[in-house]
């Protein structure tokens, strides 16, 4: 892999997500050789993927080159490759471009889409976990509008204009809101030969309310915002089957739709090679101690979504959202410095900064400890927080302008591929 040999201890980080880049930044120029590995050459800001899918943002606003993040770190290296296996007995990582020895290994590979074993849904639905997937979804939405314009029958047109989103967590709610904005603001203007009334957005949720991880208040408020935008919300509803056209559910609800968007859950994306108690099968996450060290492995750590740290406050592990990943990445970086200085390590403690979700333009819901609110102020707060954590100054400026002024009509100029 052409990584120079050095006398410095080598930390290999698998994954340039929130956890991986924050660890790499904290270790910059600290007498440690850092090798960051990712199967993409960019960091993805996943919270804004739905904006790419719905033509609100260009992909380069939310994807940032990993090499740029470490370009000023003299002892850091990046390699674009997929890790296939860990060989703990040899202290090596096997990748598609060769193997690399490590002194310390950090697994920060995040999650992948969970279809809960439903092969038909996996084959026929659209996931939204990566930039290419978000772009595929954008193309499909625009292609559907074009197909609807030339459809021979009402039924055919309706199937093209029926958008079914499964999972009313933050991703599903945000996407439903954004597609509803397309229906309400863009369709009447750019597709004059289509009737916006023929377009329907259905949001299906297995739980009894939308945004199940958030407060009752956030749930009620977002359901109200969704209704006002024209989204049909179906709670206590599971998808049983989808053949690419017919959606069947656990209730009487059966729909014809060319588009089923799967936002119903994620599962860990572990790497082969560790055994024993390291990987907990059900959540597919590595069991780690309070220092993010994987149980039974002294020199291998896991961070972020892929790590499961049981604490009295979080007996099932921290929520799989950006903040634990960011905080764990920074914390492990500081602990590595302590380790090499032969100082005592500090256990990780999660500081919950709250959660939020946006519902269409200018509206959001926010839970910060016992404070729950929604509306335009929540949206400003949502935008501010997202801009702060977005990597790269240019990305922040462009994203601010596009979100603030909603220049979504740009999306309609996109090529359909």
Ligand X SMILES: Cc1cc2nc3c(=O)[nH]c(=O)nc-3n(C[C@H](O)[C@H](O)[C@H](O)COP(=O)(O)OP(=O)(O)OC[C@H]3O[C@@H](n4cnc5c(N)ncnc54)[C@H](O)[C@@H]3O)c2cc1C
In sign, the C-alpha dihedral spanning 136, 141, 142, 145 is positive
248: phi then psi, degrees, rounded to nearest 5: -110, 145
Which of 34, 69, 105, 269 lies at the binding interface for ligand X (CB under 6 A)?
269
φ/ψ of 240, rounded to 5, equals -95, -40
The binding track of 356-385 with respect to ligand X, each residue x by CB under 6 A or -, is ------------------------------
The token pair that represents 144 in the structure block: 């559907």
Q: Which among 39, 34, 49, 43 has a CA at the least distance from the CA of 16?
A: 43
Helix 393-405 to helix 376-389 angle (10° resolution) is 160
Closest separation in Å from C-beta 49 to ligand X: 4
Q: Where are the beta strands (DSSP E) in 76-199?
A: 76-80, 83-87, 92-95, 98-101, 104-107, 111-113, 126-127, 162-166
270-299: contacts with ligand X (CB under 6 A): 271
Does the active-site annotation cover 281?
no
Return the residues of window 146-185 that contact ligand X according to CB under 6 A. Answer: 170-171
**Residues sharing a CB contact under 8 Å with residue 220, sequence separation 6 or more, in sequence order:** 209
* 223 contributes a contact to ligand X by CB under 6 A: no
> Which parts of 217-283 are beta strand (E)?
231-234, 239-242, 246-249, 254-256, 259-262, 266-268, 279-280
We find the least distance from the C-beta atom of residue 358 to ligand X, in angstroms, to be 8
Active-site residue (options: 82, 89, 155, 174) = 174
Among residues 55, 109, 327, 335, which is the contact residue for ligand X, using CB under 6 A?
A: 109
Q: Least separation, in Å, of the C-beta of 320 and ligand X?
A: 5
Among 172, 177, 206, 304, binds ligand X (CB under 6 A): 304
In whole angstroms, the minimum distance from the beta carbon of 150 to ligand X comes to 31
35-54 residues in contact with ligand X (CB under 6 A) are 37-40, 44, 46-47, 49
Task: Please report how close the Cβ of residue 134 comes to ligand X at its closest, in angstroms.
Answer: 8
The reply on whether position 318 binds ligand X by CB under 6 A is: no
Q: How far is the CB of 209 from ligand X (least distance, A)?
A: 18
Nearer to ligand X, 70 or 161 (CB): 70
Span 225-264, contacts to ligand X by CB under 6 A: none
Q: Which is nearer to ligand X, 82 or 406 (CB)?
A: 82
Residue 198 is a binding residue for ligand X (CB under 6 A): no
350 touches 327 (CB < 8 A): yes
Concatenated DSSP letters of 190-210: H-TTS-GGG-EEEEE-SSSSS
Does residue 320 interact with ligand X by CB under 6 A? yes
Is 108 near ligand X (CB under 6 A)?
yes
E runs forming strands in 133-235: 162-166, 200-204, 231-234
CA-based nearest residue to 303, from 350, 233, 266, 264: 350
Q: CA-to-CA distance for 244 and 223, rounded, in angstroms? A: 27
* Binding-site member from 20, 88, 167, 268 for ligand X (CB under 6 A): 20
Active site residues: 174
Q: Which residues bind ligand X (CB under 6 A)?
A: 14-20, 37-40, 44, 46-47, 49, 82-83, 108-110, 128-129, 170-171, 269, 271, 304-306, 320-323, 325
């Amino acid at each position: 892999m052409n990584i120079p040999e050095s006398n410095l201890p080598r930390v290999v980080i698998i994954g340039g997500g929130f956890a991986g880049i924050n660890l790499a930044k904290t270790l910059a120029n600290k007498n440690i050789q850092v090798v960051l590995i990712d199967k993409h050459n960019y960091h993805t800001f996943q919270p804004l993927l739905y904006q790419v899918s719905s033509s609100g943002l260009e992909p380069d606003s939310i994807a940032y080159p990993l090499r740029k993040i470490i370009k000023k770190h003299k002892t850091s290296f990046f390699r674009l490759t997929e890790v296939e296996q860990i060989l703990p007995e040899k202290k090596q990582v096997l990748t598609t471009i060769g193997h690399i020895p490590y002194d310390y290994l950090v697994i920060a590979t995040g999650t992948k889409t969970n279809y809960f074993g439903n092969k038909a849904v996996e084959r026929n639905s659209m996931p939204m976990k990566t930039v290419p997937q978000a772009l595929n979804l954008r193309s499909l939405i625009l292609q559907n509008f074009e197909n609807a314009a030339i459809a021979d029958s009402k039924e055919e047109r309706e199937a093209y204009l029926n958008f079914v989103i499964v999972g009313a967590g933050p991703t599903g709610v945000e996407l439903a809101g954004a597609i509803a904005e397309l229906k309400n603001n863009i369709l009447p203007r750019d597709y004059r030969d289509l009737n916006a009334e023929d377009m329907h957005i259905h949001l299906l949720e297995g739980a009894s309310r939308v945004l199940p991880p958030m407060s009752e208040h956030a749930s009620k408020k977002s359901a109200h915002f969704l209704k006002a935008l024209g989204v049909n919300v179906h709670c206590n509803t599971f998808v049983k089957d989808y053949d690419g056209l017919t959606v069947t559910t656990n209730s009487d609800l059966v729909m014809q739709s060319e588009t089923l968007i799967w936002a119903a859950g994620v599962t860990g994306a572990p790497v082969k090679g560790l055994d024993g108690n390291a990987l907990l099968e059900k959540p597919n996450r590595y069991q780690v101690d309070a220092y993010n060290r994987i149980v039974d492995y002294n020199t291998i750590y896991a961070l972020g979504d892929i790590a499961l740290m049981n604490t009295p406050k979080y007996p099932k592990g921290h929520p799989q959202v950006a903040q634990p990943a960011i905080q764990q990445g920074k914390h492990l970086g500081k602990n590595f410095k302590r380790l090499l200085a032969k100082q005592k390590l500090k256990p990780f403690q999660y500081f919950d900064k709250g959660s939020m979700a946006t519902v269409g333009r200018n509206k959001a819901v926010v839970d910060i400890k016992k404070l729950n609110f929604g509306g335009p102020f929540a949206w400003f707060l949502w935008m501010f927080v997202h801009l702060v954590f977005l990597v790269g100054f240019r990305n922040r400026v462009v994203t601010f302008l596009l979100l603030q002024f909603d220049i979504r009509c740009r999306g309609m100029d996109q090529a359909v591929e």
